[in-house]
Amino acid sequence: MVQLEWEGGAGDQGVRRSQPGILPRPTPSPVQDCVAAARRTDSLKTLCDQINEPSFLSTRGGPATMARENDEVRAVAIELDVTSNGQTIEVAVQKAWEAFGHIDALINNAGVRGSVSSSLELSEEEWNNTMTTNITGAWLVAKYVGKCMRDGGRGGSIINISSIQGLNRIQIPGALAYASSKGAMHILTKTMALEMGKHNIRVNAIAAGLFRSEFTESLFQKDWLNNVALRTVPLPASGEADPALTSVIRYLIHDSSDYGSGNIFIVDAGYIIPGIPIFSSL
Q: Annotated catalytic sites, by residue?
A: 178
Of 184, 172, 169, which is closest to residue 266 (Cα–Cα)?
169
Distance, CA of 159 to CA of 105 (rounded, Å): 7
CB atoms inside a 10 Å sphere around CB 30: 8
Of 44, 113, 38, which is closest to residue 82 (Cα–Cα)?
38
Phi and psi at residue 137, to the nearest 5°? -65, -45
In this structure, which long-range contacts are made by residues 178-185, counting pairs with CB atoms below 8 Å and at least 24 apart in sequence?
Answer: 178/8, 178/112, 178/113, 178/114, 178/130, 178/134, 180/131, 181/130, 181/131, 181/133, 181/134, 181/135, 182/134, 182/207, 184/131, 184/134, 184/135, 185/134, 185/135, 185/138, 185/160
Measure the N-to-C terminal CA separation of the chain; round to a whole number of Å: 43
Rg (CA), the chain: 19
SS3 106: strand
